[in-house]
Amino acid sequence: MGWFWWFMLAMVLVIPLTMLMLGLRWWRGRIPPYGGSSGYRTRRSLASPEAWVFAHVYFGRLWVIVGVAVLVPSAVVMLLCPGGDTDRIGLWGGALCFIQTFVMLIPMIATENALRRMGG
């Protein structure tokens, strides 16, 4: 396994690990200050301090679930191509990162729907 494979493995794991770390943090109640410059900032989540807390806890839980669901297959795919050339490794790693980018946004739909049902 060459250096490029290790680099691509690290890059492929950035998104799921970020989802897990932030998801656990928010799910457990370590939420950024209301209205601050970071966090889950949408019109509905900023509607009230209660909506802000609800959105972070709900979104955090979903990010933990999705983060694990993305981490495992991503790592398996990268483990299956260690002997490949750099083009193959780069193609698979890039494709995984592209897919992960869209998958990490899916929990936003569920969170916004939950906020709407909540009245936010």
Per-residue pLDDT tens digits for 68-101: 999 999 999 999 886 678 898 999 999 999 999 9
**CB-neighbour burial class of residue 25 (10 A; exposed 0-12, middle 13-18, buried 19+):** middle
- What pLDDT score does 35 carry? 81
Q: What is the pTM of this model?
A: 0.88
Q: What does the block give as tokens for 43?
A: 């019109």
The residue-averaged pLDDT of 44-56 equals 95
- What pLDDT score does 84 carry? 74
Contact 111, 65 (CB under 8 A): no
